[in-house]
Amino acid sequence: MSQVSQCYAIRTKPNREFVVSNSLRGKGYEVFLPLRRKCNLTSRPRSSLEAPLFPSYLFCRFDVTNRLPILTVPGVFHIVASGKTPLPVDEEEIQALKAIVNNQLPLEDHSYLAVGQEVVVHDGPLSGTRGKIANINGVDRFAVSITILQRTISVEMDPAWLAHAELGKYV
Q: Where in the chain are the domains?
A: 1-89, 90-171
Whether the Cβ atoms of residue 134 and residue 119 lie closer than 8 Å to each other: no
Model confidence pLDDT, tens digit, residues 73-94: 999 999 999 998 999 999 988 9
Whether the Cβ atoms of residue 107 and residue 155 lie closer than 8 Å to each other: yes
Whole-number Å distance between alpha carbons of 94 and 108: 17
pLDDT grade for 9, boundaries at 50, 70 and 90: very high
Residues whose CB is less than 8 angstroms from the CB of residue 77 and which lie 6 or more positions away in sequence, other chains included? 10, 11, 12, 13, 56
Structural domain 1-89, CATH architecture: 2-Layer Sandwich (3.30)
Whole-number Å distance between alpha carbons of 118 and 131: 5
Model confidence pLDDT, tens digit, residues 35-75: 987 765 565 655 668 889 999 999 999 999 999 999 999 99
Residues whose CB is less than 8 angstroms from the CB of residue 165 and which lie 6 or more positions away in sequence, other chains included? none
3-state DSSP assignment of residue 112 = coil
